[in-house]
């Protein structure tokens, strides 16, 4: 099967049952093919210390870690610290909810399922790939914390970017999953700032 035929098959699988124009299907196939090639290109970067760093960042971006940080801030502080904890929790929760709804609606398979012979360097938390929930939550936190004291926003953005890159590096997500997760998380962070002024 030629690369173009494979890309078309991928797009048709992603759009199963949806009436789509052939030109749009071809564009989507090319985009998904490019997305897969980018993911596979990350394999060239693998090394022991990078893998340890990526696993650390991924763990930092999971629900348990973010919940623990939010609870610690909520329990430990009054005034400003409590406010930061409340914004962090709201941004992460809104991002996670939006991401999980979209994952189940769009139903994109993880790379380890969709690409024959591909093995992720971490366990997949579920079978859905698009969008990246870790990245959405991390960017939800980062935007929610922008403008807070002690450079909380910039530090959170650095970690959010690292978490997103770690998801691709470890093979848990395609690059487009991470881009979508960052956009969803950013919107959730804006909503958190509006809900927790």
Dist. CA 123–CA 47, nearest whole Å? 18
Q: Residue 162's pLDDT is what?
A: 95
Half-sphere exposure of 159 (CA within 13 A, CB side): 24
Q: Which residues contact 45 (CB under 8 A, 6 or more apart)?
A: 169
Q: Residue 3's pLDDT is what?
A: 46
Question: Tokens standing for 19?
Answer: 């009436």
The whole-model pTM stands at: 0.82
Beta bridge partners of 109: 128
List of E strands, the chain:
none
Cis status of the peptide bond prior to 131, with omega within 30 of 0: yes
Instruction: Centre a 10 Å sphere on the Cβ of residue 63 and count the other Cβ atoms it contains.
Output: 14
Q: Are 4 and 25 in contact (CB under 8 A)?
A: no
Q: Which residues contact 192 (CB under 8 A, 6 or more apart)?
A: 87, 90, 91, 94, 140, 143, 144
List of E strands, 83-194:
none
Give tens-digit pLDDT for 5-34.
545 455 555 545 555 566 667 777 788 888
Averaging pLDDT over each range in 4-8, 24-28, 144-148, 149-153, which range is the top one? 144-148
| Residues of the chain above pLDDT 90, percent | 38
C-alpha pair distances (Å), 75 with each of 49, 82, 86, 147, 192: 35, 7, 10, 22, 19
Closest among 99, 120, 108 to 171, alpha carbons compared: 120
Q: In terms of pLDDT, which residue wins out, 115 or 90?
A: 90
Closest among 126, 135, 134 to 108, alpha carbons compared: 126
């Amino acid at each position: 099967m030629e690369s173009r035929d494979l890309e078309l098959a991928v797009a048709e699988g992603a759009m199963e049952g949806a009436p789509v124009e052939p030109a749009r299907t071809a564009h989507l196939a090319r985009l998904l093919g490019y997305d897969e090639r980018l993911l596979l290109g990350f394999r060239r970067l693998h090394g022991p210390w990078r893998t340890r760093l990526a696993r650390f960042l991924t763990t930092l971006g999971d629900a348990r870690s973010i919940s623990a940080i939010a609870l610690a801030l909520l329990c430990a502080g009054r005034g400003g610290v409590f406010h930061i904890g409340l914004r962090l929790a709201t941004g992460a929760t809104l991002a996670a909810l939006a991401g999980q709804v979209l994952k189940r609606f769009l139903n994109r398979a993880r790379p380890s399922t969709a690409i024959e012979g591909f093995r992720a360097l971490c366990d997949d938390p579920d079978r859905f790939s698009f969008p990246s929930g870790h990245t959405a939550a991390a960017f939800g936190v980062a935007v929610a914390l922008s403008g807070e004291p002690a450079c909380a926003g910039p530090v959170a953005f650095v970690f959010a970017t690292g978490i997103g890159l770690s998801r691709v590096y470890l093979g848990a997500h395609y690059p487009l999953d991470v881009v979508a997760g960052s956009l969803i998380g950013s919107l959730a962070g804006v909503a958190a700032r509006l809900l927790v002024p």
